[in-house]
Amino acid sequence: MQEKPKTTVTTSRTRRERAASDFTFTADMLPDGALADFRRKAWDEYIRLPLPTTRDEPWRRTDLRTLPAGDFRLPKVDEYLDLPDIPDYLLKPLVSDQHGGQVILYPGGSRVDPSAGSGQRLDPALVEQGVVFTDFRTAERQHPELLAKLAGEIVRPQDGKFAALAAALSQNGILLYVPRGVTVEQPLHSVLWGPGANLAHIAHILAWIEDGASVTYVHEAASPTEAGAHALHAGIVEIHVGDGANLRFVELQSWGEHVWNFSHERARVGRDASLDWIFGAIGSRLTKNFSDLDLVGEGATGRMSGFYFTDGTQHLDHDTQQNHLAPHTTSDLLFKGALTGKSRSVWQGMIYVAPGAQKTDGYQANRNLVLSKGARADSIPGLEILADDVRCTHGATVGKIEEEPMFYLRSRGIPPKDAERLIVEGFFDPIMQRIPFEGVRARFQEAITAKTANI
């Protein structure tokens, strides 16, 4: 072995790269229970991994230097009782007239199968068939083995600092388990309600759809805006869609504009299975979301449809990955975003086709409409294709409202604000067409109206 010459390196730091402070979480905060082993291993990863900086490729465009990590604490038991309650509109069914079941996660608590009278219990017939839809606390008592078996199968703690944090410290979570061949007719709905200042909302969503099963599941994360404060959300979403199974998964985030939102999500889709994955993002101060689609079985299909609308100084960064790991797989991604104020969006997408994954069809497109001078959208598509008989296409655009359509609409008597709103609605229409849920569309429509009013 050759001895290396010793050199002394002096660095003159002109700027700080790390966050202003470190998290203050400690190992004694790890919850006990069915996931104790899993959590301990995740904690080791959490300790091992540094907070990302813009020197890390996936974080190049999302800077955490102003993250006040040291300010965040875990909610105390029942802390939600002293905080603003969840507004009624979040409890309404979004995709149908009624819920098959509803679970609400609060800071320091949860509500499962709301009390009789609301009529929102998980259908007893589904319970009999073995369907589980509940929060982690209940699952740890009632289904400890199932939970321990499934957690961490899809998203690994080593995927990133925030994945490890969420795996280790998730205060609560959702377990959805649909046994083989069971069709759940009524959509299931969960809400993560995160009011409060300086709290860390840490949640683990686990949806396991066995072979041949079918379900629609809607998960929302929301909070009011706490002016002058900060809050943290770190989450994991793990999805398994078994062979021949069918999942329609809608996730919406309308976090308050004080929330630092981090999420690692991955869906594994089996042979001839199908996933329709819908993302809606209108909230948070800063979001970094990793969403990976793993098409692992021949004939698997995954569709990812995203919409976002940012204003003020919001910063939303979505990192998507469409992994074709088997032949005859199909993926179709369309993300559309509008931006106003001094907000910023980043979409970075990759289609990966593994060696031997022939006859795959991958598509990705990201379209952005920048509505103000100060806003900026970055759109970075990517292909990595290691098979030779495939069809992969992508497209990315960043545009603004043109003068001619505006003049045309105004020449019909439509005032400028309404003309802008029409053009924005028209821009989002193709993505709305992919969302067959009136309630979801109506919710987004309200956001468009509110955010275009401020242009």
Which class for 30: exposed (0-12), middle (13-18), buried (19 or more C-beta within 10 A)? Answer: middle
The stretch near another protein (CB under 8 A) out of 137-145, 282-290, 314-322, 397-405 is 397-405
Given a contact cutoff of 8 angstroms between Cβ atoms, the answer to whether 256 and 223 are in contact is: yes
Tell me: does residue 423 bind another protein (CB under 8 A): yes
Tell me: does residue 415 bind another protein (CB under 8 A): yes
Angle in degrees, CA 280, 207, 447, rounded to 5:
15
The stretch near another protein (CB under 8 A) out of 40-48, 56-64, 114-122, 424-432 is 424-432
Given a contact cutoff of 8 angstroms between Cβ atoms, the answer to whether 322 and 347 are in contact is: no
Nearer to another protein, 88 or 404 (CB): 404
Tell the smallest beta-carbon distance from residue 418 to another protein (Å).
6
Query: Cα torsion for 30, 32, 35, 37, to the nearest 10°?
Result: 70
Nearer to another protein, 124 or 413 (CB): 413
Given a contact cutoff of 8 angstroms between Cβ atoms, the answer to whether 305 and 431 are in contact is: yes
Distance in angstroms (rounded) separating the CA atoms of residues 274 and 24: 41
Comparing CA positions, the residue from 323, 312, 299 lying closest to residue 255 is 312
Distance in angstroms (rounded) separating the CA atoms of residues 448 and 89: 17
Residues numbered 46 to 105 that lie near another protein (CB under 8 A) are none
Cross-strand bridge partners of residue 266: 238, 292
Tell the smallest beta-carbon distance from residue 424 to another protein (Å).
9
Tell me: does residue 408 bind another protein (CB under 8 A): yes
The stretch near another protein (CB under 8 A) out of 26-34, 109-117, 263-271, 412-420 is 412-420
Q: Which member of 169, 203, 419, 440 binds another protein (CB under 8 A)?
A: 419
Tell the smallest beta-carbon distance from residue 408 to another protein (Å).
5
Nearer to another protein, 72 or 427 (CB): 427
The stretch near another protein (CB under 8 A) out of 25-33, 159-167, 314-322, 401-409 is 401-409
Q: How far is CA 285 from CA 227, 311, 361, in A?
A: 11, 10, 35
Q: Which member of 372, 405, 434, 455 binds another protein (CB under 8 A)?
A: 405
Tell me: does residue 418 bind another protein (CB under 8 A): yes
Total of residues contacting another protein (CB under 8 A):
23
Q: Which member of 117, 119, 228, 413 binds another protein (CB under 8 A)?
A: 413
Beta strands 132-135; 172-178: pairing state = antiparallel
Tell me: does residue 416 bind another protein (CB under 8 A): yes
Tell the smallest beta-carbon distance from residue 432 to another protein (Å).
9
Tell me: does residue 384 bind another protein (CB under 8 A): no
Comparing CA positions, the residue from 345, 354, 407 lying closest to residue 383 is 354
Q: Which member of 59, 177, 279, 427 binds another protein (CB under 8 A)?
A: 427
Distance in angstroms (rounded) separating the CA atoms of residues 142 and 295: 31
Nearer to another protein, 148 or 432 (CB): 432
Tell the smallest beta-carbon distance from residue 373 to another protein (Å).
17
Q: Which member of 428, 435, 448, 452 binds another protein (CB under 8 A)?
A: 428
The stretch near another protein (CB under 8 A) out of 138-146, 171-179, 182-190, 425-433 is 425-433
* Region at 215 (left for phi over 0; alpha for psi -120 to 50; beta for the rest): beta
Q: Which positions lie near another protein, rule CB under 8 A?
A: 403-405, 407-416, 418-419, 422-423, 425-430
